A and B are shown apart, each in its own frame.
Chain A
Amino acid sequence: MPEVPGDALEFALRSADALAGTLNLRRTLGRIVDLAVSRFGTSASVTLLDDGGLRQVVASVGQRSVERLVSRPRVADDLVERMSRPSTLTASDVGLRDGAPLRIVPLDVSTAPGATRTAVLAVLGAGASDAELDGLVRRSATAIANALFYDERATLAATLRGALVPAPLPRIDGVDLGASYRPALETTEIGGDFYEVVPAGDEWALSIGDVCGKGVEAAVLTGQARQSLRTAALVTDDPTRTLGLVNESLLATDGSNFVTIVHGRLRRDGELLRVRLASGGHPPPLLLRHGEVTAVPVRGSIVGMLRDVSFVGADVVLAPSDLLLMYTDGVTEARGRDGMLGVESVLDVLADSSGLVAQAVTERVLQLVLEHLDGRRHDDIAILALRSAVA
């Protein structure tokens, strides 16, 4: 067995550890360059051609960090062609200055048959041996392959998540909106609770809901419920009728699971906000007025499981100092050391929240819940608040 110098062994271990830490593609590319510069020469680069185009990371000695990722979606055809034959590449192709010795080594990063990915590691400088460089090349190739694989999965997950997690609240002139959302810990960012405020004709449609169950399956029904709500809200401006239509629509697709919803229409009237509300089996919205909190008298059946349903709506007029709070039962049913949080604590916090902007109020309620939980597992939590922003 050939003798391995101590510092070579140390480098091999260090690079293996360093590359094992991250699954992120740009950090992986950066780290390879960082390692190469630390051991082999004055500058180094990784050039990767994948489905996203050409990405290149370059660094040289004395530079604080890796130069930022360069994405070049349009690459000269001949470079694409030459990427597969590294011996034809020049220093400028791989982002380095001319100099000797220049070593350009292919990295085998193909993760699936037929994938059009090639990568090269280029090093400018005379440090360390070719054998050592080979070692780094092997580890780098595996790390990039893993990162590419993760990147695909992460992109897919992010796309799904993007369709299911609450979108940022719109900015509505004269309306102050706030929301807080915390999915159950065991899933990542997707859950069965949702809220949204979307335009509906010359009004706004607002909804908060809770799908029975958790995780990906609940999230799928969440997506259907949100879609049905938006469509139904275009057909009718009566919130109770909207819930009726959503019920029919969900029954037609599945009917084995249900959702609870508070849905409403919001219209600005001078300094007042007029809100028409309906509830389908959901905790009633809370109205804060002059330091007193009352429940808005809406009620109705759960949505999506029963043929015979009825919904009772209510209208609320919000004066400038009033606030309307809607929440899912993840709030009141949060289990702490001494049992469930209950609605009383929420009423107390709300009564003490006059004058706060809507976002500050939803965050106070979320804080109340998470402190009560004190690290315990919980259901999804969604909180939505609105008030008039006309001072």
Chain B
Amino acid sequence: MIDGAVFDDYWAAVAKGDGRTAIRVAMRQLEDGVPLPDVLDQLVAAGQAEVGKRWAANEWNVAQEHRATSVSEEVVAALSAIEDLRPDQVGRIVVTCADGEWHALPSRILTASLRHAGWDVTFLGASVPARHLRQLLHDVGPEATALSCMLPVRLFHAREMIEVSRDAGVPVLIGGRGFGPSGRWGLTLGANAWAPTASAATELLAGSSLPAFTDPAPALSQPDNAVDDLRRNRDRYVDWCMRDLSIRRLPDVTSYSQHQLARTEEDFGHIIDFLAASLYVDDNQLFEEFVGWLDDILVARGVPTSTISVGLEIVTGVVGSVPRTIDVLAAGLAVLDSRR
């Protein structure tokens, strides 16, 4: 375990955007004999989790968040560069993010950790179209695909990646918050295994819990057309929500600037996307967590607490014709009620 004072030094450097000091702190841990995967998990990944918290609490703006993330990337690159990483005969792994997933740092950390363990890693980076993965699996022939997903709204694309990989007989190991508690949502979508951290993933791959070959992913059946409807008509529903909002002429909304209106439109989009994802894996908790998170963020930014309830009511009016959809939206409103 890396000690708290070391993390504080590291964090101070990340917070200042001071890449050199952050690299120096991390390097000293390696020199002191801390294994690379632990440095990656306990400094870099832990630091990045802190970055997300600062942003959510509105203590940091987007530029600060990006600067800190840029430092984390620098540290991973520097730590990866010091080792002479000639792959042993351990095997091959493809590490990738789903299409639309821009949080590449966790998969970079995994890549460094796996290379350290002797794997021959093909790292595809952020936002990879499924057809690129399909091609690559035939070319590389890996033992496994490691798939990262940080936002549940990418679960649709994550499913495409799982299908493509399992069609080629390659088992899929998943990681990242987007796959839900203990990877539950990703496992529902056909992933073969889940790991909470890069070190855990590396250990899991060294063991025998992942099959060498896998069958195609089982078909997903949806009890109704709620998901299809939301995804197909998403933009139209957002427009309707905006129109409904302007008809209601809420006092604080009528004074919204162009920028605030654009933000509101984005938020309606998010509500519908998370709603669809929640229905897709048939788990209200996905939407409930999103509503709690959105509430935290908006409250931290001084948005009146009633705004999000009104937003959910408007969305219910616009899209709520399928019982399951109404149920999920009600669960979201219940989260807000329990907080007031």
Interface string of A346-368 (1 = CB under 8 A from B): 00000011111101100110010
Answer whether A352 and B169 are a contact pair too, CB < 8 Å, given A26-B141, A66-B212, A150-B138.
Answer: no
Could you tell me which residues of chain A, from 1 to 52, have a CB within 8 Å of some CB in chain B? Answer: 17-18, 21-27, 30-31, 34
Answer whether A367 and B212 are a contact pair too, CB < 8 Å, given A337-B235, A360-B73.
Answer: no
Interface string of B87-113 (1 = CB under 8 A from A): 001110000000110101000000000
Residues of A within 8 A of B211 (CB): 65
Report whether A188 and B135 are in contact in the complex, using a CB–CB cutoff of 8 Å: yes
Complex Cα distance A284/B126, Å?
27
Complex Cα distance A371/B153, Å?
14
Nearest opposing residue in chain A for B167, CB measure: A21
Report whether B212 and A65 are in contact in the complex, using a CB–CB cutoff of 8 Å: yes
Nearest Cβ in chain A — how far from B300, in angstroms? Answer: 21
Complex Cα distance A355/B69, Å?
11
Stretch of B59-67, B173-181, B243-251, B330-338 contacting A (4+ beta carbons < 8 Å): B59-67
Interface string of A156-197 (1 = CB under 8 A from B): 001000000000000000000000000001001100000000
Report whether B169 and A31 are in contact in the complex, using a CB–CB cutoff of 8 Å: yes
Report whether A23 and B138 are in contact in the complex, using a CB–CB cutoff of 8 Å: yes
Report whether A359 and B73 are in contact in the complex, using a CB–CB cutoff of 8 Å: yes
| Interface residue B3 (Cβ < 8 Å from any Cβ of A) | no
Nearest opposing residue in chain B for A360, CB measure: B70
Answer whether A25 and B67 are a contact pair too, CB < 8 Å, given A64-B208, A188-B132.
Answer: no
Complex Cα distance A370/B168, Å?
27
Answer whether A18 and B141 are a contact pair too, CB < 8 Å, given A355-B17, A356-B67, A357-B74.
Answer: no
| Interface residue B170 (Cβ < 8 Å from any Cβ of A) | yes
Nearest opposing residue in chain A for B104, CB measure: A363
**Of the residues B19, B63, B135, B216, contact of A21 by C-beta under 8 Å:** B216
Q: Which of A17, A30, A360 is packed against the most chain B CB atoms within 10 Å? A: A360
| Interface residue A76 (Cβ < 8 Å from any Cβ of B) | no
| Interface residue B129 (Cβ < 8 Å from any Cβ of A) | yes
| Interface residue A115 (Cβ < 8 Å from any Cβ of B) | no
Residues of A within 8 A of B167 (CB): 21
| Interface residue B293 (Cβ < 8 Å from any Cβ of A) | no
| Interface residue B263 (Cβ < 8 Å from any Cβ of A) | no
Report whether A18 and B213 are in contact in the complex, using a CB–CB cutoff of 8 Å: yes
Complex Cα distance A25/B102, Å?
32
Complex Cα distance A360/B72, Å?
11
Nearest opposing residue in chain A for B20, CB measure: A391
Complex Cα distance A355/B102, Å?
20
Report whether B69 and A360 are in contact in the complex, using a CB–CB cutoff of 8 Å: yes
Nearest Cβ in chain A — how far from B118, in angstroms? Answer: 11
Complex Cα distance A370/B139, Å?
26
For the complex, count residues of B whose C-beta is within 8 A of A: 42
| Interface residue A307 (Cβ < 8 Å from any Cβ of B) | no
Could you tell me which residues of chain B, from 39 to 89, have a CB within 8 Å of some CB in chain A? Answer: 62-63, 66-67, 69-70, 73-74, 89
Complex Cα distance A356/B135, Å?
33
Complex Cα distance A351/B99, Å?
27
**Of the residues A24, A355, A356, contact of B168 by C-beta under 8 Å:** A24
Nearest opposing residue in chain B for A364, CB measure: B66
Nearest Cβ in chain A — how far from B323, in angstroms? Answer: 30
| Interface residue B137 (Cβ < 8 Å from any Cβ of A) | yes
Nearest opposing residue in chain A for B209, CB measure: A64
| Interface residue B140 (Cβ < 8 Å from any Cβ of A) | yes
Residues of A within 8 A of B212 (CB): 30, 34, 64-66
| Interface residue B316 (Cβ < 8 Å from any Cβ of A) | no
Report whether B139 and A24 are in contact in the complex, using a CB–CB cutoff of 8 Å: yes
Residues of B within 8 A of A367 (CB): 102, 126-127
Complex Cα distance A192/B137, Å?
25
Report whether A18 and B169 are in contact in the complex, using a CB–CB cutoff of 8 Å: yes
| Interface residue B143 (Cβ < 8 Å from any Cβ of A) | yes
Residues of A within 8 A of B19 (CB): 357
Interface string of B196-235 (1 = CB under 8 A from A): 0000000000011001110110000000000000000001
Residues of A within 8 A of B20 (CB): 391
Interface string of B132-161 (1 = CB under 8 A from A): 100101111101000000000000000000
Report whether B169 and A370 are in contact in the complex, using a CB–CB cutoff of 8 Å: no
Nearest Cβ in chain A — how far from B287, in angstroms? Answer: 22
Answer whether A352 and B62 are a contact pair too, CB < 8 Å, given A64-B212, A357-B19, A360-B70.
Answer: yes
Residues of A within 8 A of B169 (CB): 18, 21-22, 27, 31
Report whether B141 and A68 are in contact in the complex, using a CB–CB cutoff of 8 Å: no
Q: Which of A150, A158, A367 is packed against the most chain B CB atoms within 10 Å? A: A367
Report whether A27 and B66 are in contact in the complex, using a CB–CB cutoff of 8 Å: no
Report whether B139 and A21 are in contact in the complex, using a CB–CB cutoff of 8 Å: no
Nearest Cβ in chain A — how far from B22, in angstroms? Answer: 12
Residues of B within 8 A of A79 (CB): none
Nearest Cβ in chain A — how far from B276, in angstroms? Answer: 15
Complex Cα distance A30/B143, Å?
10
Answer whether A154 and B126 are a contact pair too, CB < 8 Å, given A18-B213, A65-B212.
Answer: no
Could you tell me which residues of chain B, from 16 to 46, have a CB within 8 Å of some CB in chain A? Answer: 17, 19-20
Nearest Cβ in chain A — how far from B205, in angstroms? Answer: 10
Complex Cα distance A39/B100, Å?
42
Could you tell me which residues of chain B, from 220 to 274, have a CB within 8 Å of some CB in chain A? Answer: 235
Complex Cα distance A30/B212, Å?
9
Residues of A within 8 A of B17 (CB): 355
Residues of A within 8 A of B140 (CB): 24
Residues of A within 8 A of B213 (CB): 18, 27, 30-31, 34
Residues of B within 8 A of A158 (CB): 139
Complex Cα distance A309/B225, Å?
60
Residues of B within 8 A of A26 (CB): 141
Nearest opposing residue in chain B for A31, CB measure: B213
Nearest opposing residue in chain A for B126, CB measure: A363
Report whether A360 and B66 are in contact in the complex, using a CB–CB cutoff of 8 Å: yes
Q: Which of B89, B102, B138, B143 is packed against the most chain A CB atoms within 10 Å? A: B138
Report whether A22 and B91 are in contact in the complex, using a CB–CB cutoff of 8 Å: no
Complex Cα distance A64/B209, Å?
8
Nearest Cβ in chain B — how far from A385, in angstroms? Answer: 12
Residues of B within 8 A of A64 (CB): 207-208, 212
Nearest Cβ in chain A — how far from B182, in angstroms? Answer: 23
Answer whether A24 and B141 are a contact pair too, CB < 8 Å, given A357-B74, A367-B126.
Answer: yes
**What are 26 A-B pairs at a CB distance below 8 A?**
A17-B216, A18-B213, A18-B215, A21-B169, A22-B138, A22-B141, A23-B138, A24-B137, A25-B141, A27-B170, A30-B212, A34-B212, A34-B213, A64-B207, A66-B212, A150-B138, A189-B132, A337-B235, A352-B63, A356-B70, A360-B66, A360-B69, A363-B102, A364-B66, A375-B99, A375-B100
The 3 closest A-B pairs by CB, nearest first: A65-B212, A24-B141, A360-B70
